[in-house]
Amino acid sequence: MEKILIADDEQLMRQLVIDFLKPEGYEILEASDGKEALEIYDKEHPDLILLDVMMPGYDGWTVCREIRRESTVPIMMLTAKGEEIDQLFAYDLGADEYITKPFS
């Protein structure tokens, strides 16, 4: 079973994504801040990471940078930061996709 790590400080956002992915058979891992996301990543080695930018502790930029030092696991940024400069920064850090909230 493929594992997806959802790292977002908003519980409702995590739950929304879980409600769409869990019925498809994915194992879901949750983190409510960047530090927890890195700890779970190191322990579980998920197949995909859905990563918010604005989180307590380490922000999504830091988490993406740290993971990219050792892995090519797909990282999708899910964030309210919709400026083009933010998207370009995410891609420069190694993000594979950038989706702004709210999304459908």
> What distance in Å separates the CA atoms of residue 89 and residue 48, rounded to the nearest whole number?
20
What is the extent of the structural domain holding 25?
3-100
- The backbone torsions φ and ψ at residue 36, rounded to the nearest 5 degrees and listed phi first, read -65, -35
- pLDDT single digits (tens) 32-77: 999 999 999 999 999 999 999 999 989 999 999 999 999 999 999 9
The alpha carbon dihedral of 82, 88, 93, 98 has a sign of positive
Lowest mean pLDDT among 20-34, 42-56, 89-103: 89-103
**Amino acid at site 11:** Q
pLDDT at 103 over 80: no
Q: Domains in the chain: how many in total?
A: 1
Residue closest to 97 by CA, chosen among 68, 67, 73, 77: 77
> Domain holding 58: CATH number?
3.40.50.2300
